[in-house]
Amino acid sequence: MSSDTNTHEYEHVHEASEEHELTECPACGKPIRGIDDLEQGETVPELTTVDGRGVMMGRSKNDLWMCKGCGATLGVRRRQK
């Protein structure tokens, strides 16, 4: 998933949608059979905008997950607040 395919004109919330099984890395095609095929990256903060100008960094941290094969970012696990 690259940022050039997901442009954001305004702030919005991503609601849970129908999940689908991740069977291979979209970047390199490496098979993903389970958690052992993923690498947990650093935690990343949730960002929000204030009045469309300022940016606030939230206190909650989220886990970044990447492909062990190529390091591509595959997703973020939102931690419970």
What does DSSP assign to residue 16? -
Query: Exposed, middle or buried, 80 (CB in 10 Å: 0-12/13-18/19+)?
Result: exposed
Give how far the C-alpha of residue 8 lies from the chain's centroid of Cα atoms, to the nearest Å: 15
The per-residue pLDDT for 8 is: 47
| Predicted TM-score of the model (pTM) | 0.58
pLDDT digits (tens, 9 = 90+) for 14-69: 455 567 788 999 999 999 999 899 999 888 888 888 887 888 887 778 888 999 99
pLDDT of residue 16: 53
Inter-residue contact 10 to 39 (CB < 8 Å)? no
| 79: helix, strand or coil | coil
Pick the more confident residue, 27 or 10.
27
